């Protein structure tokens, strides 16, 4: 199994898609809950697997283009088929996933094997009929949106109009229509005329869940810009600018790096945005630009280790963050296969671990604790024992239920809350 690089539930939560470093997409489907076994609430089984992207070679630049899937986003379901967007560094593809459970039989000109029948042997005409067959799930690429990005695509976001979507790379954001693959509109361009003046890049972007004219994008300097596409064709001037003033007491050479935002997500309500930087998760009210309304420390014990984390490049890890369906709980990953949940109402938080060694299937996860001080209690883990190669960068939360998907390197964990 390859390293999982993205996880995403669809809009009903029935399907869960994962993308990996090898360019494959694996879709899981929740099985129907049966009355016979109420305690076995719908589990996720593999529904479809397909190769979305292949490695490419850019001959002009003599560089490989990785097939790693950076993001998957589902389209809302409009007919029997499912549609999703998947992207690597350069190309976005629209995939149609559909079921086939019937097969036409009784052709006139060819027999069941597909071989052509001898016309002289055909004496009667018949109408082919559809007969049931074993369920087959097919994935077909319906659109390929290529050659629009010079830099690496980090985000895609489907607009609430369901007709357009955007793709963002380090310096530009493009707006696409699903039907048109040979054109896209550039709506944000922060590339300086002289590349040597470059000091800031785009790190993530997302459309507002309800207002199809509004989107946000985050930067490597810890700022978020909200743009309104109605104001101008090129949204270089933001409508709102979210930035928290720097805390002078915490200033170090690493301040800028750890302020770089790795993920930005609108709440389901559309009223808030959540951002993830290296050490914290912040919730912002769209109506207040000068500071976040909530700040949660994910792993503040790493603050004194920043130099080492810079040395081994961990400081550049891009963690994602997610809202639960009701926007009351937020979740993000950390190291040592730990992930953290913060309840915004009760202000309680919990650290859990996604690991086979430390939890049996169907057992309730035991909260974990990282000890910072001298005395380590029995179940605690000291900061120096943390495994920094086991990082949870990608997580997803079911849109309406308390089911979460956690990607731990090349393993996918699905957790549900306990039913009494």
Partner 1 sequence: MFVRGLKRKCFDGEEDIEGTLAGIKAIPSYNLQRQSLLDMSLVKLQLCHMLVEPNLCRSVLIANTVRQIQEEMTQDGTWQMINTQSTGQASLDRLVSTDILCRSSREQAEGKHVPGYSTFSKDFEGDQAQDSSETMSTASSMQPPRNLQSNVWEMENPQENKGNFQKSLDQIFETLENKSPNSVEDLFSEVDNSYYDLDTMLTGMMSNTKMGHCDGLETFSSPTTAGSNSNCKSDLNELDHIVEILVES
Chain residues in the site for partner 1 (CB under 8 A) = 61-66, 89, 150-152, 170-171, 194-201, 203, 220, 252-254, 256-257, 260, 304-308, 310-313, 316, 388
DSSP state of 335: B
CB of 259 to partner 1, least distance (A): 10
| Choice between 99 and 256, CB closer to partner 1 | 256
Neighbours of 326 (CB within 10 A): 13
Our CB check for partner 1 shows the closer of 140 and 308 to be 308
Nearest approach, Cβ of residue 155 and partner 1 (Å): 12
SS3 256: helix
Q: In what order do the strands lie in the sheet with 403-408?
A: 394-397, 403-408, 411-416
> Minimum Å distance from CB 60 to partner 1?
8
Least Å distance, CB 152 to partner 1, is 7
CB of 289 to partner 1, least distance (A): 23
The DSSP string of 5-18 is: EEEEE-SSSSEEEE
Instruction: Pick the closer one to partner 1 by CB: 13 or 22.
Output: 22
146 Cβ neighbours under 8 A, 6+ residues apart? 90, 91, 92, 181
The enclosing H or E element of 60 equals none
Nearer to partner 1 by Cβ, of 260 and 324: the residue is: 260
Q: Give CA–CA dist 296/48, Å, rounded.
A: 37
What residues does 284 pair with on adjacent strands? 273
Nearer to partner 1, 302 or 404 (CB): 302
Residue 86's region, left for phi above 0, alpha for psi from -120 to 50, else beta, is beta
Between 293 and 307, whose beta carbon lies closer to partner 1?
307
Q: Which helix (H) or strand (E) holds 307?
A: helix 306-311
Show Cβ contacts of residue 339 under 8 Å, excluding neighbours closer than 6 positions: 331, 332, 333, 351, 352, 353, 354, 392, 395, 406
- Neighbouring CB atoms inside 10 A of 309's CB total 20
Minimum gap (Å) between residue 151 Cβ and partner 1: 6
Query: Would you say 123 or 194 has its CB closer to partner 1?
Result: 194
Query: Measured from the CB atom, is 14 or 89 closer to partner 1?
Result: 89
Q: How far is the CB of 305 from partner 1 (least distance, A)?
A: 6
Least distance to partner 1 from the beta carbon of 252, Å?
Answer: 7
Q: How far is the CB of 222 from partner 1 (least distance, A)?
A: 11
Question: Which one, 179 or 197, has the nearer CB to partner 1?
Answer: 197
Edge-to-edge order in the sheet of strand 129-145? 71-74, 82-87, 92-105, 129-145
The residue (of 96 and 152) whose beta carbon lies closer to partner 1 is 152
CA 257 to chain CA mean position, Å: 22
Annotate 408-418 with b (16+ C-beta within 10 A) or e (fewer): bbeebbbbeee
Which pairing describes strands 394-397 and 403-408: parallel, antiparallel, or unpaired?
A: antiparallel
Spatial neighbors of 363 by CB under 8 A, at least 6 apart, are none
Query: What is the token pair recorded at 1?
Result: 């199994």
Q: Output the smallest distance, CB 158 to partner 1, in A.
A: 24
CA pair distance 156, 379, nearest whole angstrom:
40
């Amino acid at each position: 199994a390859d390293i999982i690089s993205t996880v995403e539930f669809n809009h009903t939560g029935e399907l869960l898609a994962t993308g990996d470093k090898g360019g494959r997409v694996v879709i899981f489907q929740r099985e129907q809950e049966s009355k016979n076994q109420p305690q076995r609430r719908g589990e996720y089984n593999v529904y479809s697997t397909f190769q979305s992207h292949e490695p490419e070679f850019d001959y002009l630049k003599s560089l490989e283009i990785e097939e790693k899937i950076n993001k998957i986003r589902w389209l809302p379901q409009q007919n029997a088929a499912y549609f999703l967007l998947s992207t690597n560094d350069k190309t976005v593809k629209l995939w149609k996933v559909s079921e086939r459970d019937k097969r036409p039989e009784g052709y006139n000109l060819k027999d069941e094997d597909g071989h052509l029948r001898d016309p002289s042997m055909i004496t009667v005409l018949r109408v082919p009929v559809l007969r049931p067959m074993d369920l087959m799930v097919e994935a077909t690429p319906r659109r390929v949106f290529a050659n629009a990005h010079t830099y690496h695509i980090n985000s895609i976001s489907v607009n609430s109009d369901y007709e357009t979507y955007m793709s963002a790379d380090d310096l530009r954001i493009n707006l696409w229509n699903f039907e048109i693959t040979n054109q896209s509109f550039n709506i944000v361009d922060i590339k300086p005329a002289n590349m040597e003046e470059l000091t800031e890049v785009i790190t993530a972007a997302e459309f507002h869940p309800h207002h199809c004219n509004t989107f946000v994008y985050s930067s490597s300097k810890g700022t978020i810009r909200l743009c309104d596409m109605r104001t101008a064709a090129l949204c270089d001037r933001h409508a709102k600018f979210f930035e928290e003033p720097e805390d002078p007491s915490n200033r170090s050479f690493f301040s800028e790096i750890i302020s770089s935002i790795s993920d930005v997500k609108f709440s389901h309500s559309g009223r808030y945005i959540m951002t993830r930087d290296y050490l914290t998760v912040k919730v912002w009210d769209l109506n207040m630009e000068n500071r976040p309304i909530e700040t949660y420390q994910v792993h503040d014990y790493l603050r004194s280790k920043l130099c080492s984390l810079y040395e081994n490049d961990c400081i550049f890890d891009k963690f994602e963050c997610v809202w639960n369906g009701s926007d009351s709980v937020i979740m993000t990953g950390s190291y040592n296969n730990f992930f953290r949940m913060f309840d915004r109402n009760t202000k309680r938080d919990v650290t859990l671990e996604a690991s086979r060694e430390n939890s049996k299937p169907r057992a309730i996860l035991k909260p974990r604790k990282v000890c910072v001080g001298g005395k380590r209690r029995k179940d605690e883990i000291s900061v120096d024992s943390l495994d920094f190669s086991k990082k949870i960068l990608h997580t997803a939360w079911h849109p309406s239920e308390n089911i979460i998907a956690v990607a731990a390197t090349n393993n996918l964990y699905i957790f549900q809350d306990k039913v009494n």
